[in-house]
């Protein structure tokens, strides 16, 4: 089966991620040892125990339909083997977590693209309104954030790859959308209650609204900022707080995300040089996500770093700037080689990451598409956990003139 959610905190298990394919008895025993009451499975990526025939020795009629409603998954205990193997290799029914299925729409990628475009347009219009002295329209923000949160919870691999793709002239707007999506996935990994995740996501989407009060010549300057210009740029955090405090319906959680995302764990951040627990959990999370998205993005003055290098930098900076526990949790939420990333294999073939293995983060499922000799391959899905090939590095789609949208997981 493909585990969609272990339903326990990330500190409670040894798996690198909460989502992975559960294929052998050792993994079954690890899940059993967690003592969780229920798990969620994805029947698009793995087996559906309800769709398997009952064992010949103990036939059991199906009394419920095989088709699960998408909006309200059904809970059912696992009481029979998943495959034709000895009973000793299966999870005993008395200790088995309940299993929920998770189904995905065939048009999930197109729906994610539409949501990403809509979110970018709303943020662009919102910053334009702020420059004209207008107030943020929460009646537009709240439904949008609700759809982003729903998208991440149902299938984060559809929206997060899109969040990494940005255009130079839309960076400010798309950065806000990316931080919102990443913060939602991060909070979900930390098992934050969903009602709080919604407030975190609102703060993430609005964290940079103060940039509407920074002149374009500073915001988009291709060269190094002068000290005076940098002070003006840093003031966007104060301006974000002022704007949001004047916005009806903004929660303290959302305000913390926006007002504290440039504070640092060692007290070297701005605007208030808060340190340690003086920074809320949401501010500490926002600092990590904001930096990750910024350094992995191409900008007018900066070539984005590969995700693998960005994660190494976050780990390095966790000695001072970021809380180490949270950095490790963030890495769990996005993966070492994120879904949608282009990677180079030892065989000199290029592949796009399609899905993660929680227990083998360096061996995801990938789609082979190109050879470094300069020609496309017949697309082929392979599981690196069962292959002699291995990832040797991250590649940039632009360097090979490959359209990333064409190869995102469908």
- 328-365, pLDDT tens digit by residue? 999 988 888 888 899 999 999 999 998 877 667 788 89
Identify whether residues 306 and 328 lie together within a single domain: yes
Return the pLDDT at 299: 76
Pairing of strands 98-101, 76-77: antiparallel
Residues in the chain: 410
Tokens at 144, concatenated: 């949008």
Between the alpha carbon of residue 227 and those of residues 163, 224, 230, the distances in Å are 31, 9, 5
The end-to-end CA distance of the chain, in Å, is 20
Domain of residue 396 covers 342-407
The CATH number of whichever domain residue 233 belongs to comes to 1.10.3210.10
Residue that the structure tokens 């200790």 belong to? 95
Has residue 19 got a pLDDT over 90? no
User: CA torsion 153→321→275→243, rounded to 10°?
Assistant: -60
Identify whether residues 231 and 380 lie together within a single domain: no
Query: Is 273 strand, coil or helix?
Result: coil
Has residue 324 got a pLDDT over 90? yes
Separation CA 403–CA 125 (nearest Å): 28
* pLDDT, tens only, 236-274: 999 999 999 999 999 999 999 999 999 999 999 999 999
- Band of residue 14 on the pLDDT scale cut at 50, 70, 90: low
Which of these ranges, 14-18, 136-140, 203-207, 238-242, has the smallest mean pLDDT? 14-18
* pLDDT, tens only, 50-66: 666 554 444 444 333 33
Identify whether residues 256 and 304 lie together within a single domain: yes
pTM over 0.75: no
Of the two residues 174 and 75, the one the predictor is more confident about is 174
Identify whether residues 299 and 321 lie together within a single domain: yes
* pLDDT, tens only, 142-177: 999 999 999 999 878 778 888 777 765 577 889 999
What number is the average pLDDT over the span 308-313?
91
CB 339 within 8 A of CB 157: yes
76, 101, 126 — which closes off a domain?
A: 101
Separation CA 270–CA 262 (nearest Å): 6
Which of these ranges, 99-108, 131-140, 237-246, 373-382, has the smallest mean pLDDT? 99-108
Identify whether residues 254 and 168 lie together within a single domain: yes
Domain count, the chain: 3
- C-alpha 208 chain-centroid distance: 20
334, 362, 382 — which closes off a domain?
A: 334
Query: Is 356 strand, coil or helix?
Result: coil
Identify whether residues 67 and 175 lie together within a single domain: no
Identify whether residues 44 and 181 lie together within a single domain: no
Identify whether residues 180 and 236 lie together within a single domain: yes
Identify whether residues 194 and 324 lie together within a single domain: yes
Identify whether residues 197 and 261 lie together within a single domain: yes
How many other CB atoms are found less than 10 A from the CB of residue 10?
18
101, 132, 162 — which closes off a domain?
A: 101
Identify whether residues 301 and 190 lie together within a single domain: yes
Identify whether residues 92 and 130 lie together within a single domain: no
Query: Is 240 strand, coil or helix?
Result: helix
């Amino acid at each position: 089966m493909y585990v969609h959610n272990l339903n326990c905190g990330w500190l409670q298990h040894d798996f690198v991620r909460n989502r992975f394919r559960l294929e052998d008895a050792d993994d079954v025993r690890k899940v059993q040892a967690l003592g969780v009451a229920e798990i969620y499975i994805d029947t698009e990526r793995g087996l559906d125990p309800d769709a398997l025939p009952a064992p010949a020795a103990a036939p059991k009629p199906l009394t419920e339909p095989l088709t699960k409603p998408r909006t309200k998954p059904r809970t059912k205990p696992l009481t029979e083997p998943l495959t034709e193997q000895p009973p000793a290799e299966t999870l005993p029914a008395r200790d088995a977590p309940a299993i929920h299925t998770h189904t995905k729409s065939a048009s999930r990628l197109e729906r994610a693209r539409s949501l990403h475009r809509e979110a970018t347009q709303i943020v662009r219009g919102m910053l334009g309104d702020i420059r004209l002295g207008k107030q943020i329209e929460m009646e537009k923000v709240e439904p949008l954030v609700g759809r982003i949160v729903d998208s991440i919870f149902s299938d984060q691999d559809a929206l997060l790859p899109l969040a990494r793709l940005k255009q130079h002239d839309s960076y400010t707007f798309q950065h806000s959308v990316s931080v919102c999506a990443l913060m939602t996935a991060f909070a979900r990994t930390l098992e934050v209650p969903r009602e709080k995740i919604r407030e975190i996501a609102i703060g993430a989407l609005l964290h940079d609204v103060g940039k509407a009060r920074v002149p374009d010549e500073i915001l988009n300057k291709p060269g190094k900022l002068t000290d005076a210009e940098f002070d003006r740029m840093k003031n966007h955090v104060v301006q974000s707080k002022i704007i949001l405090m004047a916005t009806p319906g903004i929660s303290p959680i959302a305000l913390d995300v926006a007002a504290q995302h440039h504070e640092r764990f060692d007290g070297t951040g701005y605007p208030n040089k808060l340190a340690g627990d003086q920074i809320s959990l949401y501010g500490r999370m926002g600092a990590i996500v904001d930096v990750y998205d910024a350094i992995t993005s191409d900008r007018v003055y900066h070539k984005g770093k590969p995700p693998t290098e960005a994660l190494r930098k976050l780990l390095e900076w966790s000695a001072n700037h970021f809380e180490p526990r949270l950095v490790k949790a963030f890495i769990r939420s996005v993966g070492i080689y994120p879904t949608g990333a282009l990677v180079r294999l030892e065989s000199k073939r290029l592949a796009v990451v399609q899905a993660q293995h929680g227990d083998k983060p360096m061996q995801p499922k990938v789609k082979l598409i190109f050879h470094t000799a300069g020609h496309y391959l017949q697309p082929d899905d392979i599981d690196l956990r069962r292959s002699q090939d291995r990832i040797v590095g991250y590649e940039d789609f632009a360097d090979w003139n490959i359209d990333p949208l064409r190869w995102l997981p469908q």
